[in-house]
Amino acid sequence: MATGHNWMRGAARGALASVLLAAGLAGCSAMGPAGPAETAAVSAQPTAAPTPVDTTPVLDPAGTAEGNLAFFDYVNEQVLVADPAPDGAQFTAALAAAGFDTAAMELTPDRTAVDLEAASVQFSVRLADGCLIGQWGSGVGYHSLVTAVLSSGRCLIGSDRPAG
């Protein structure tokens, strides 16, 4: 039985050699590369902040009603920022100051025929291809739209008052 015992001793030596080899390889890889260490270059120069882009809409007097709607809304929203309960004249004054033609504006009364506060006011600016119409009321908020000019040449139906 000496042969079986030698075989077991040989197998044990082989297993031990495998374990030692694996441990040695693991130790080498944990130590990192044997060559010179490489480091990444880090730039110390600050990067320039992106230049802010002005996205404020502007009036295009030769433009379309649809093309000027964003500017119309912008002007009217600024009125509401300055005064959360404006009257109609404040809207038309701001639109005129922003460059819209006062002669092309219409405005409904702030008061009813029996002298009550109107639930809302409508105001408009007629352009060559259509009308910019705004509506403001404490119960309905601000709304706007672009419509065609009426056959009468006006933007609003009914009686209005001077916008300027």
- Residue 81 domain-assigned (yes or no): yes
For residue 139, the enclosing domain spans 65-147
- Residue 45 domain-assigned (yes or no): no
Model pLDDT, residue 52: 82
- Residue 74 domain-assigned (yes or no): yes
- Residue 152 domain-assigned (yes or no): no
Residues paired with 147 in a beta bridge = 131
pLDDT per residue as tens digits for the range 57-83: 999 999 999 999 999 999 999 999 999
Look at the chain and report how many structural domains it folds into: 1
- Residue 162 domain-assigned (yes or no): no
Model pLDDT, residue 158: 84
**132: which residues sit within 8 A by CB, 6+ positions away?**
65, 68, 69, 72, 124, 125, 144, 146, 155
The residue ranking higher by pLDDT, 136 or 17, is 136
Model pLDDT, residue 160: 76
Q: Is the pLDDT of residue 163 over 60?
A: yes
- Residue 22 domain-assigned (yes or no): no
Q: How confident is the model at residue 9 (pLDDT cuts 50, 70, 90)?
A: very low
- Residue 164 domain-assigned (yes or no): no
pLDDT per residue as tens digits for the range 27-56: 544 555 555 555 555 556 667 778 788 889
Angstrom CA distances, 131 to 15, 45, 120, 125, 135, stand at 92, 53, 18, 6, 13
- Residue 38 domain-assigned (yes or no): no
Mean pLDDT across the chain, nearest whole number?
82
